[in-house]
Structure 1
């Protein structure tokens, strides 16, 4: 590369990074503004509210937020991360402080569900469960004119005396968990994204920096506190309700409301993390090859090829509409920091260091700092969507996927404020089944899998349908390309799925039957299948 081109790309990098920073700041500011409008129910006196909401008010004083409580209601609605979910306005929000009060709320909702069932009318979801509220799927954790069960008061972080486990409330944010555990010198196998809630990530799977050592986040849950459809509170573990314990490892909210998780923990230690930023214009082909070759080698069973301290590499292509350019961002982590703070030998021996870049940083830092820097997401209050698919480690399919991404961003180049990350992450067979058994359907995983996901933000409401349909079409095109190359795979990483996707179809018949059986045992009338909106439901041929 000539010095003139080097200068050009360096200046371009600074422009890109500055533009992204400015855009993020503007979006953050926008996210702080009121996002909802008063709803007609705000003027309805309590005696005119639906009977089940009046029952909630009577039996749970101090736990119900009505629309007439304008400021508190506004703040509660804005707990949803994506702007489009802030525009879905519930009738009320239930914020219980303990499992017994939540059990009362569930009993009232079950009574309403039974009444509707007996009336013979079709039942549409009339309540939702919110942990962190970050998933941008429409109605993922909120419901129009219904009841939102807000778990934000379940936020305690309590280490066991011997430090082997930590009990964490389902409404806690991962960053708060890590900060609290810093005081104890501990860390848990948990999420990498600071504002994400514990509940949704842990129930749907979850990948950690420590997954190569311990497996999925869900496979490191020792026990659960669960409120069932009849309002009772039970503990599920390997020895008590073991069938419920297993299906909660990937089965989401299909069986009850989890209020607390007891998670496996370990002594905290600094980790090494690096980020490489490069221009996509002439580095995308090399980046894809390096990524493909790394996965191929790491799953080759050659001595030393798989290193349980090496977190799965993340390769992102990011299109920034404001300047019409694509960037490459590569994130690497190693959980056993080298004493000299230089690149670990594992990563030195890959092709990643050879990529030309205009920004490259590495540091030895605490787990908390790494999550704060490494795991940022779209700012709160932005228009936001995502979606995912899975392919096998096939270089031709990866190149085809990148070409589809480029075509999609060309079609969306006039969408104001568009930031379109297109991300490759990995599941290696060396860790796919570590930890306690789960129902994700990867029991026979013998080859590396690539999770492809999009996490797209934009500015204007008028572009909602266009962007969302473009993301869906992109993923469908990638699936078609993968099938043509025999590199498709049915697994879908549920944490990145959006509302139209069906992740349980990739869990395998045996696991689906386990989940269906547990649902019929613990929720025989289908309260969480039919009365609860959001999340992903099991497919029953008859109910």
Structure 2
């Protein structure tokens, strides 16, 4: 880390300015795009959040840098102010102040949307201003793709800094596992190129450490070979019998599936007064032909599905198609828990008890206007941990001693007056899951296991860093203090802190 320390203490900034309004100072420089509240670009950018609670926070200006050098200039100016600020990639994280700000400058990476591919090697430089559907469209026809998330509207920046779970994770690990080098603007406004060989501790911390270490302006990634895929959804009406079969199916798939090209998400969803009470199955196969029988436990649960969109497509088409899941015009809360899969003998006890808990808590919110409550059961087989480890260290550092399921719990609703009440409802949902898991581990129903939280689905009240291995939390804290000794990112923008 010696060379990085030299970068940190180097005096290569602009002349120190009196503490002032960042927006006005950047405007006075005349070469960086700054928009104010009545500007069309400001208004449009403020709509680009998944949660209207984030859109309701009004930045003093929105700054649109076009290069790492411009980001560096903005950071140097921020060092001469005391304002809170935020940095925004796609705006999919619904936690207030993580990529949104009230009364301070917002740095939008929208113009940092490069996707420069070396077709021979598959190495691609990707800017944080891209969304997953945009990247997939830009790479379509090249024979390569980016190992990203499952919803096309998701921003690259937040996804990769949180780790990033992909349909292809059993083949290639986290989305962050494909990063070869980060171009990073540090807290003092200098630019570092961070790789496993140049700055190994910082490189590891950036893989799952969030926004604690600087502003990433480019991700150099190893893309993967990609042809047509099979993907889409099955939708079933909820009945107790369908629920039991699908919960067993997702548990069994997590343990027994040995085809790394296959992936599933099993989601239950409810809306106002149970006018919607359904199961939505996301199926994916990384190839143009699906092997016989691989998804039978999901397709053969009983009645014919209400809708079946599972078919052969391009990966770009799948990413674009997936955006139907984004609930526009609503406040969104997302929380998560990680669960070791139960033995086959304890499957009904664990899976159905956890699901009954979710239904009981979500029932208390079914009169909230516009409510959509969902729970997504996402396999986290040990193969993902093996593939991530094979591609270098990360802060999550999941071991391959046990298969797990990542549970994502969502509530979306319309009235912002319900924000605190629904935050309590979400907390009751994930806390109930956690308490049950701990009790089952204590009595032997579930195995003891390291159960980190998945940052990309974390709620702001959850202790992400507290659930990491203590040595990795300590590493993240040490690296953050090293690269940001004055606490620019720790104290003046939102996010989880080590």
- Using the alignment, how far apart are the partners of 1:466 and 1:164 within structure 2? 47
| Structure 2 counterpart of 1:398 | 351
- Cα deviation 1:476-527 (Å, max 9, x = unaligned): 1111111111148531110011211121112211211221222122112221
1:111 is aligned to 2:58 = no
Give how far 1:335 is off: 0.6
Superposition map of 1:68-87 within 5 A: 69-87=38-56
Q: Does the C-alpha gap of structure 1 residues 515 and 403 become closer, same or farther in structure 2, counting only changes over 3 Å? A: same
Aligned to 2:239: 281
Distance in 2, matches of 1:369 and 1:319, equals 27
Q: 2:317 maps to which residue? A: 369
Given candidates 253, 269, 274, the residue that maps to 1:294 is 253
Structure 1 residues 267 and 278 mapped into 2: Cα distance closer, same or farther (>3 Å)?
Answer: same
- Identify if the C-alpha distance between structure 1 residues 345 and 465 changes in structure 2 by more than 3 Å, giving closer, same or farther: same
> Are positions 1:89 and 2:58 aligned together?
yes
State the shift of 1:332 in Å.
Answer: 1.7
2:279 is the alignment partner of 1:328: yes
Aligned length: 464
User: Which secondary structure state, in structure 1, belongs to the residue aligned with residue 261 of structure 2?
Assistant: coil
Residues 295 and 184 from structure 1, CA distance in 2 versus in 1: closer, same or farther, beyond 3 angstroms? closer
Q: Which structure's CA Rg is the greater one?
A: 1
SS at match of 1:481: helix
Q: CA separation in 1, counterparts of 2:396 and 2:119?
A: 35
Contact 2:340 2:451 in 1 (8 A): no
Cα drift, residue 146 of structure 1? 0.9
Contact 2:272 2:369 in 1 (8 A): yes
| Matching of residue 224 in structure 1 with residue 182 in structure 2 | yes
C-alpha displacement of 1:465 = 2.5
After superposition, residues 245-394 of structure 1 pair within 5 angstroms as: 245-282=203-240, 283-298=242-257, 306-311=258-263, 313-321=264-272, 323-338=274-289, 343-345=290-292, 347-348=294-295, 351-359=297-305, 360-374=308-322, 376-394=324-342
Q: 1:292 to 1:72 in 2, by over 3 A?
A: closer
Aligned to 2:5: none
1:167 and 2:113 correspond = no
Q: Is the 8 A contact 2:329 2:414 kept in 1?
A: no
Q: Which residue does the alignment assign to 2:400? A: 445
Q: Note the C-alpha offset of 1:111.
A: 2.3
Instruction: Tell which deviates more after alignment, 270-279 or 165-174.
Output: 270-279
Counterpart residue number, 1:45: none
Cα distance change of structure 1 residues 377 and 361 upon mapping to structure 2, 3 Å threshold = closer
- SS state of the match for residue 262, structure 2? coil
Aligned counterparts of 2:365 and 2:437: Cα–Cα separation in 1: 23
Note if contact 2:255-2:381 (Cα within 8 Å) is conserved in structure 1.
no
**Root-mean-square deviation over aligned CA pairs:** 2.0
* 1:393-420 superposed Cα distances (whole Å, 9 cap, x missing partner): 1222321221111112221121122111
Q: Does 1:54 align with 2:2?
A: no
| In 2, Cα distance between equivalents of 1:536 and 1:278 | 37
- Which residue of the partner structure matches residue 439 of structure 2? 484
Structure-1 separation of matches of 2:50 and 2:359: 27
> Matches of 2:153 and 2:402 in 1, distance apart?
32
Q: Residues 322 and 418 of structure 1 are in contact (CA less than 8 Å); yes or no, is this contact kept in structure 2?
A: no
Unaligned stretches of 5+ in structure 2?
Answer: 1-18
List aligned pairs for 1:393-472, cutoff 5 A. 393-394=341-342, 395=347, 396-435=349-388, 436-472=391-427
In structure 2, how many angstroms separate the alpha carbons of the residues matched to 1:91 and 1:461?
21
C-alpha distance in structure 2 between counterparts of 1:265 and 1:422, whole Å:
31
